[in-house]
Each structure stands twice: as C-alpha cells, then as structure tokens.
Amino acid sequence: MQLTKGGNAPLKDRSVNLRLSFDKQPAGADIDVSAYLLRADGKVRGDADMVFFNQPSAVGIQLQNGNAFSIGTQELPSDVEKIAICVVVDGRPASALGAIQMSTSDGISFRHDVSDAPEAAIILAEVYRRNGEWKIRAVGQGFTGGMAPLARSFGIDVNEEPVVQAPPPPAPVSLKKVTLKKEGKVSLKKGGGEIRARLIWEGRYDGDGDLDFYCFYVMKDGRRGKVYWNNHGSRDRAPFITLSGDSQAAGMEEIVLHRPEEIRFALLAAYSALSNGTGSFQSYRPKVVLTDHAGNEVTIPLLNPNEFSYWVAISHIAVADEISISHVETYGVSGAMFSSNPPGTDAEAAPRLHPDGRFDVSLGEVEFKD
C-alpha cells in the first residue's frame, strides 16, 4: 500500500521492520535517522526514549544498520502512544536527499519529495496507537534546525558540548561524532562507563557476508585472551568484555568493554570467512562505531580494496590516565595463490596483541568454525 502525505494504514504484524532510503547520498554529509517514543502529550518520558546512532535501542524498538527500525508493538510500554520517525541531514537542508522512501515489512510505503525542503530535519512518519491497535501515518513535515532542536522539541535534554565525566550521572544525550582517518587517534577520559564497539557491514549480492568481530585483550593483571565467535566473554567476570553473537550474514556484531579500567590494551579486529570467497573488506562497506556512556561516537571506516586479505586489525585501545583509541587498519598477508608473503606468515592466521601493547598480523592462531 502506497501512502500519500497524511494517509494512514493499520500495521498487520506485531513485529514490524521499517526501512528508510534516499534518492541521493550527499557527499560529506551525515544522514541521521532517529525515533522518539512519545506519550499522549507528544513528549518523551525521558532521554532513554530517543533512539538514534548513539543510543540504538529502547524498549520495543531498535535501530539497525543506521537506516531501519525493528519495532515490536507488543513490547512497547503502555504509556507510549506514538513513535515519531525522523531524518536529519547534518549541516545541509533535507533537499540534498532529493526524496525519502519509507517501506515496511508488511507492504506499506511512503515516498516524500524533499527536493525543495529548506529545513534540515524531517518528521517523516508516525507509528501510533488507536483503539488498542497500531497504525502508521505518513507525515512529511519539515522542522527548522538540526537534530538538537528537533530532540528538544520532543522533550530530550540535549548537551551539544559533550564532556566526559566520572562517575557519570544520568547524562544528557550528546551529539558528538568523530570519524577517524587511518593513523588518527582520539582520547576519552576514564570513568565514562562501558565502551561499545559495533562492527556494521552490508552484504554483497543477496545479503551474504560472514564477518567475525574479535577483541584481543591484555588485562591490567597481565592476563591475555580474545573474545570472539567461540568465546562470547563475560560481563560480570574477567575479562569483562562481551560479544553480542555471531552474525553469519550482513548486519552487526557488538563488543562491549564493560569495565575498560580493567583493561590495559585491546585490539579490535575482523575476519572475512572463507565462505565469502574473494572480495575485499571494502566491498562490504564496513565500519566500526565506538561509543561511550557520555555520548561520544568514534567511527572507523575500512577502505582497503585488497581482495585477498582475510584479516584486518582495525582499532587499538590503550588504557592509562585516558583511554586512547587509534585507527590502525592493518591487513593480513594476501591469501592469493603464489603470493610472496614473508616467511612464517599465514593469510588465515589471526593478529597477535603482545603484553606491551604492540601487535602484529598473520602470525597468530589459525582457527576455523566447525
């Protein structure tokens, strides 16, 4: 069913996937998709009711791959009456997108032409409760200002001058984002709570693509190890690092450092499974997004076009007086036939993280899934 502006339709399924796409992808501009869980008065109950790049889930809703929401209507709190679905173009008017297309898993769609929109923010649609049932309405309303004014209009306490505090109180939402170039580095203050690292990638062809996210670590007491598909770690005991699971298709895996202060060094790495065949990491358009409790976000893109590298060391984390995050993007040796690789190296060998924080690639353990 194709909705026009102002039109509505019932949501047939209790679990709904809602995806947004754009006619144009403006170079150098971030497109931020967000959702707000609202009471009957049109305001959030608290800052936890804003779902966006830095806070990708709330009760009953999750942001996926930066442009889609998974909504479980039965799981939504009883005092949430509607969800506002919004798009913001950072630093530019929404007209840079040309048009926004919304589609749901039960066949509802809405195309909103924004080619003449002067505003940076668009309230695209509402998912709302009516007589005990859930419906969706095509809104297509422009909003003057960027994400911060939009969030404030819904009752969010926004702090645009992000400061990492220790220990953090329930903090205002921070909108600070940094994209690291190769060999770039950023520091966070200790005491900001857990650090989350998400490996996000798109599939090739029919959505295939099995990337595995690894965290090699050295603890303060000298213990070393790794959290990966065969050992998901632990939140409550050493190493206080967890992996969300093993996604064997395009999507996302998340590693959480629950107590970064217990870690001396960590190395985030990824492996492209043999089942993927040839094809560079770059072909999956992957990135690692790190966030902390204070709302800071560090994005690390992977750009190497080499089609025969199975391993990449992505980011090195060192914890001392501050938490230092470096974009290292170091690839393993080539797996192509007849490659002239250094003696002792293996394209399938994992990276190694040494006790002093140094790391190398293609010299570690070789381990395959059953």
- Its CATH architecture, for the domain 173-360, is Sandwich (2.60)
With beta carbons less than 8 A apart as the criterion, state whether 172 and 159 touch.
yes
Q: What is the pLDDT of residue 113?
A: 95
Three-class secondary structure of residue 53 per DSSP: coil
CATH code for residues 2-156 = 2.60.60.30
pTM (2 d.p.): 0.54
pLDDT-based confidence at 358, cuts 50/70/90?
very high
Mean pLDDT of all residues in 57-73:
92
pLDDT beyond 50 at 357: yes
pLDDT beyond 90 at 336: no
Per-residue pLDDT tens digits for 295-316: 788 888 887 666 778 899 999 9
Instruction: Tell me if domain 2-156 and domain 173-360 are identical in fold.
Output: yes
List the chain domain ranges.
2-156, 173-360
pLDDT beyond 50 at 164: no
For 39-62, b where at least 16 C-beta lie within 10 A, e where not — what string?
eeeeebeebebbbbbbbbebebbe
Q: How far, in Å, are 56, 111, 358 from residue 164 at the CA level?
A: 20, 40, 27
